[in-house]
Amino acid sequence: MTIKSDHRALYLQVIDRMKQDIAAGVYKEKEKLPSEFELSKTLGVSRATLREALRLLEEDNIIVRRHGVGTFVNSKPLFSSGIEQLTSVSDMIRQAGMEPGAIYLSTSEGLSSEEDIKRFHCTGDDTIITIERVRTANSDPVVYCVDKVPSAYLPTDFLKRKESSIFKAIEESGDIHISYAVTFIDPTGYHDDASPILECEPETALLVLKQLHYDEDDRLVLYSKNYFRADKFSFHVVRKRM
């Protein structure tokens, strides 16, 4: 069935039609789409219009293009969260009915770098603990995490532990309570470290969340850089009219 003309631009109608067909199972997850020639003929639009629609669908991670192979339907994200809520990765995984886990790659302590000094307002004599780990869902790797915390904010025996929650470790003494976080989200393509760890295909996009966690006194106590598989996670924000 071809696209029927209405007041909207044709490429927007193509996007809606493709989404409807994917939702209805006409095109299944991980299935290869027909060629551009076949799709444009089926929809009754030019290939230029189709390409614009496909470009935007790819930006939304609904489809993925594999150079020299074809265009495929992406899997639906398993995990979704509103970024206005400070929700842990473990909670997101549990809400999807899966079992969260963590694989520790490294935990180290070293003198603060110039970047750490600016970020945490510490001195060159202060030490920073860096935790590198992989978060799993039913044992499958889904998030690659690098966390940095001033040593003074963690229990003295932290390096000997296999603590699953850095939040809990920071708040253990009762002197610190993480109140809010400022989050920056950047989409990225293949990453030399994160993509192999997360067992990504070369074309699988990643969402990089850089989060600065503050306590009730507006003191930065934790910096996190998390690489999420874009085919597994989606994030949204609720915006209210003022």
DSSP 8-state class, residue 158: G
More confident residue, 238 or 1: 238
Higher pLDDT, 3 or 148: 148
Q: What is the reported pLDDT for 4?
A: 58
CATH of the domain spanning 10-73 = 1.10.10.10
pLDDT at residue 9 in the model: 83
pLDDT at 216: 92
CATH 3.40.1410.10 fits 79-236, yes or no: yes
Q: Which residue has the tokens 């290869």?
A: 32
What residue segments make up the domains of the chain, in order of their start?
A: 10-73, 79-236
pLDDT digits (tens, 9 = 90+) for 171-204: 987 889 999 999 998 888 889 999 999 998 887 8
Mean pLDDT over residues 23-46, rounded? 89
Taking residue 113's Cβ as centre, other Cβ atoms within 10 Å add up to: 12
Instruction: Map residue 35 onto helix, strand or coil.
Output: coil
Q: Are 133 and 104 in contact (CB under 8 A)?
A: yes
Region 114-129: mean pLDDT is: 95
pTM check: above 0.75: no
pLDDT at 112 over 90: yes
